[in-house]
């Protein structure tokens, strides 16, 4: 088969390509809008309801009104992105008379994203841009890899996570929250505490001593075994707390106790999250097959998140303390070796999505601080353009080369379009040598998605 140039026009109409189930461009756009509204209302209802629950209190009437407006506005944003994409593909075909590799999806998707993001609240645009750029980065790497331009790097996600985390920890230790606050700093503070923040000089006041196991009155238990276990635990923690720490360490007790207690706390949280998720998501399976309960909760997989969170916290805190002991000084630069060492724990729960999210979040923080300090110029509309460019790449991949797209994003597009993304006739673009039609069939089998029949569409 002859492979055409990317700019070579393909003699295919929007009826054959965009909406083969109907001859009307207007009707096809209206159908996408109706289906999109129904899907987006359900999705954002869950999102905004969860945000209210996470506040931990009964919302006031003004808060409910604000949530309702946000729910409807976010629904309008995502629905606009869906139906304007179809409308612009038909419009470009009418203006140019044909399609090529770029106008088949990327160009209309870019302008559709540019229009729709302006509908969304400005406070949510950065979060949306961060998400789509995360997925687009992985998609672009897959595209380059499929063309043989790059090769997969073993444990590359761990390297990305380690470098990004080191920079993020450096920013956190500089403690610039007074001038620039970010929600990511709250996550870091929850994981490693505020003892690693370069905020004030360490206090020379003596640390109040904890009552030891010998002087404290432990509660009486009816079983001598429980009493002995509690007594041994109190003695052990008392000795760990009493061990020495460096004068520049800002944690209350010894370095070893701080490391073990922080790591144990994060391990328990990670394990608890996995247990709850397994229990909720597989409840139906557990009811039908009770033998799966023991197999699921005793597997190694359920401890992976806990091992990652606990290992990362323990290694980071211990290496920071050792650096203070060896150098007899404290510096935000310690975040780089400590972060790189701690990132080894990411091998327990390595995930491209997490690594890329940390990378983009770190870039966002450093970019904003660079603007604040006058090191970088402020680019008007940068967030909007980042969203449009990234979303256009994702829509292009879903249309022309879907095997390079993350399966979860393909399922999202399948749902928001009511299955119409599967029945778009892409056979005319097989001339570009990417086996587009074959990739569509593969993705449908991989993600177990089925196109909607023509009779159900009309």
Structure tokens at 129: 């841009």
Helix runs in 97-150, H state only: 106-117, 122-146
Q: What is the pLDDT of residue 74?
A: 93
Q: What is the pLDDT of residue 232?
A: 73
pTM, full prediction: 0.80
Query: 3-state SS of the chain: helix, strand, coil percent to 5?
Result: 70, 0, 30
Which residues in 23-36 are b (16+ Cβ under 10 Å) and which e?
eebeebbebbbebb
Number of H helices, E strands in the chain: 19, 0
C-alpha angle 367-372-374 in degrees, rounded to nearest 5: 95
What are the backbone dihedrals phi and psi of residue 10, each rounded to the nearest 5 degrees, phi first?
A: -110, 120
Could you read off the pLDDT of 278-303 as tens digits, one per residue? Answer: 887 777 777 777 777 787 777 888 88
Which residues, 6 or more positions from 34, have their beta carbon under 8 angstroms from its beta carbon?
none
**Would you list the domain boundaries of the chain?**
4-155+379-447, 159-197+237-349
Structure tokens at 236: 């052990």
**388, 113 in Cβ contact below 8 A?**
yes
Going from the C-alpha of 190 to that of each of 79, 186, 372, the distances in angstroms are 36, 6, 26
Most distant CA atoms of the chain, gap in Å: 89
Q: Which residue has the tokens 């672009």?
A: 140
Which residues, 6 or more positions from 97, have their beta carbon under 8 angstroms from its beta carbon?
9
Q: What is the pLDDT of residue 155?
A: 85
Q: What is the pLDDT of residue 203?
A: 44
Residue 379, CA atoms < 13 Å, CB-side half-sphere: 11
Q: What is the pLDDT of residue 233?
A: 66
Mean pLDDT by 10 residues, the chain (458 residues): 65 87 90 92 88 78 89 93 92 88 92 94 90 93 89 88 92 67 81 70 44 48 67 71 77 84 90 85 78 79 91 92 89 91 92 90 88 85 93 93 90 88 85 83 73 45
Q: Which of 408, 417, 425, 423 lies closest to 454 in space, CA to CA?
A: 423
Question: Among positive and negative, which fits the CA dihedral 9, 11, 12, 14?
Answer: positive
């Amino acid at each position: 088969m002859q492979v055409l140039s990317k700019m070579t026009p393909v003699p295919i109409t929007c009826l054959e390509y965009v909406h083969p189930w109907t001859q009307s461009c207007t009707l096809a756009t209206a159908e996408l809008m109706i289906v999109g509204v129904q899907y987006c209302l359900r999705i954002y209802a869950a999102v905004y309801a969860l945000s209210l629950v996470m506040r931990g209190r009964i919302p006031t009437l003004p808060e409910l009104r604000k949530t309702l407006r946000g729910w409807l506005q976010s629904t309008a944003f995502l629905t606009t992105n869906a139906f304007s994409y179809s409308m612009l593909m038909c419009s470009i075909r009418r203006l140019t008379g044909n399609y090529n590799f770029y106008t088949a999806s990327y160009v209309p998707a870019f302008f559709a994203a540019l229009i729709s993001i302006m509908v969304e609240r400005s406070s949510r645009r950065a979060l949306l841009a961060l998400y789509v750029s995360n997925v687009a980065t992985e998609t672009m790497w897959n595209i380059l890899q499929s063309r043989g331009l790059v090769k997969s790097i073993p444990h590359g996600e761990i390297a990305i996570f380690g470098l990004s985390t080191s920079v993020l920890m450096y920013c956190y230790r500089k403690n610039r929250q007074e001038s620039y606050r970010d929600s990511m700093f709250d996550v870091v503070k929850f994981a490693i505490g505020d003892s690693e923040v370069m905020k004030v000089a360490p206090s020379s006041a003596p640390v109040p001593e904890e009552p030891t196991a010998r002087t404290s009155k432990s509660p009486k238990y009816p079983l001598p075994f429980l009493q002995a276990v509690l007594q041994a635990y109190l003695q052990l923690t008392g000795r760990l707390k009493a061990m020495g720490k460096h004068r520049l360490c800002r944690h209350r007790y010894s370095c070893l106790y701080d490391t073990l207690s922080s790591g144990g706390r994060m391990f328990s949280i990670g394990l608890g999250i996995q247990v709850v998720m397994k229990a909720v998501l597989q409840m139906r399976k557990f009811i039908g097959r009770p033998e799966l309960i023991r197999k699921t909760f005793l597997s190694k997989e359920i401890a992976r998140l806990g091992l990652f969170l606990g290992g990362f916290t323990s290694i980071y805190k211990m290496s920071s303390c050792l650096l203070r002991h060896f150098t007899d000084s404290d510096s935000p630069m310690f975040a780089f070796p400590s972060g790189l060492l701690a990132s080894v724990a990411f091998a327990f729960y390595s995930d491209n999505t997490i690594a890329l999210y940390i990378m983009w979040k770190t870039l966002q923080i450093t970019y904003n601080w660079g603007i604040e300090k006058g090191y970088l110029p402020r680019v008007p509309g940068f967030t909007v353009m980042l969203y449009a460019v990234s979303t256009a790449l994702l829509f292009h991949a879903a249309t022309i080369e879907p095997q390079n797209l993350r399966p979860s994003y393909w399922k999202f597009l399948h749902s928001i379009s009511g299955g119409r993304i599967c029945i778009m006739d892409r056979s005319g673009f097989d001339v570009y040598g990417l086996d587009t039609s074959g990739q569509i069939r593969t993705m449908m089998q991989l993600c177990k998605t089925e196109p909607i029949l023509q009779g159900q569409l009309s």
